[in-house]
Amino acid sequence: MVTIKSKKEIELMREACRVVAVLYEKLEKEIKPGMTTWELDQIAEKIIRAEGAIPAEKGYDIGIKGVPPYPASICVSINDEVIHGVPTKNKIIKDGDIVSIDTVALKNGFNGDAARTFMIGNVSKEARRLVEVTKQAFFEGIKYAKPGYRIGDVCHAIGEYVHSQGYSVVREFQGHGIGREMHEDPGIPNYGKAGKGIRLEPGMTLAIEPMVIEGKPNILELDDGWTIVTEDGSLAAHYENTILITEKEPEVLTILK
């Protein structure tokens, strides 16, 4: 069931989302070649906790036998890693990498969720275009995140834009509703048919997240049970924000105003 947030709940959501926005503003200044992803995770956790929030991904358990709870505060996925990359002390960020970071902050009982792909140093023209298209795909989608449209309109717009640029979308993972729970209804894939799915209503809070692959859409899961990579080794990028459906234009909650 899709939850409609009250005015009070929306204010609490705004605060959780503000923490995530602050995190990315600060990480953009911290991330650099030579760092390990573990070091980046330590910095991120300190920032989140300093804002009075909890890193909701740390200890997150998907309930599958043999897959341990997620061990870190952020997901750090480099180059051909699509999502859910696990930070480690031996994974070093290098000049020319594209680094996708995804995190959820829990504060006052509500979650804020966003992802960014950072370009490190001298990034290739091809990688830069992929990152820019992935970000724009989000904004193409939320043109339809208004009352009167359906969730399928958002999904369709994202997929059509990505494909028009010559890229693929990940089909096995999707965006989602968000609030007291990290993952709520509805599911929001990055492809679909216009005019299908639930009608959007004011008070809905949604995490919309294009995950875009430079090559074919096929993916693999690594042995850690978390990290998802492209099957053909091509680059991938990720861009996500938590938004609020209003009476008019959608409000992006995880971007500082």
Across the range 124-138, mean pLDDT stands at 98
Sign of CA dihedral 5, 7, 8, 11: positive
Radius of gyration of the chain, Cα coordinates, nearest whole angstrom: 17
Q: Which residue has the tokens 């650099």?
A: 32
* pLDDT given for residue 199 in this prediction: 98
Domain of 117 in residue numbering reads as: 7-252
DSSP secondary structure code for residue 4 in this structure: P
Would you state the pLDDT for residue 119? 98
Which position has the token pair 């006052």?
108
Residues 189, 155: Cα–Cα separation, whole Å: 6
Please give the tally of structural domains in the chain.
1
Specify if 87 maps to a domain: yes
What mean pLDDT do residues 24-39 have? 98
Is 2 within the bounds of a domain?
A: no
Report pLDDT digits (tens) over 146-178. 999 999 999 999 999 999 999 999 999 999 999
This prediction's pTM: 0.97
Assign 40 to helix, strand or coil. Answer: helix
Within a domain: residue 82? yes
- Give the residue from 242, 159, 165, 170 showing the smallest Cα distance to 194: 159
Starting at the edge strand found earlier in the chain, the sheet holding 228-230 runs 81-83, 228-230, 219-221
For 54-107, the pLDDT digits (tens) are 999 999 999 999 899 999 999 999 999 999 999 999 999 999 999 999 999 999
Q: Taking a C-beta distance cutoff of 8 angstroms, is the pair 41, 23 a contact?
A: no
Would 1 be classed as within a structural domain?
Answer: no
Q: Is residue 34 predicted with pLDDT exceeding 90?
A: yes
Q: How many residues does the chain have?
A: 257
User: What is the domain-level CATH number for residue 34?
Assistant: 3.90.230.10
Q: Quote the DSSP letter at residue 59.
A: T
The reply to whether 257 falls in a domain is no
Chain centroid, CA 89 distance in Å = 23
Q: Kindly state the average pLDDT of the residues 7-16.
A: 98
177: which strand partners?
184, 206
Mean pLDDT of the chain: 97
Q: Which of 184, 198, 137, 133 is nearest to 13 (CA)?
A: 184
Per-residue burial over 222-250, b = 16 or more CB atoms within 10 Å of its CB, e = otherwise: eeeebbbbbeeebbbbbbbbbbbbeeeeb
Q: At residue 56, what are phi and psi to the nearest 5 degrees?
A: -70, -25
Residue 257's pLDDT band, with cuts at 50, 70 and 90, is: confident
DSSP 90-115: T-B--TT-EEEEEEEEEETTEEEEEE
Task: Calculate helix-pair angle for 125-141, 151-164, nearest 10 degrees.
Answer: 160
Residue 152 lies in a domain: yes
Q: Give the model confidence (pLDDT) of 196-219 as tens digits.
A: 999 999 999 999 999 999 999 999
- State the sign of the Cα–Cα–Cα–Cα dihedral 197, 212, 28, 91: positive
Band of the pLDDT at 239, cuts 50, 70, 90?
A: very high
Question: What CA–CA distance (Å, rounded) separates 215 from 4?
Answer: 38
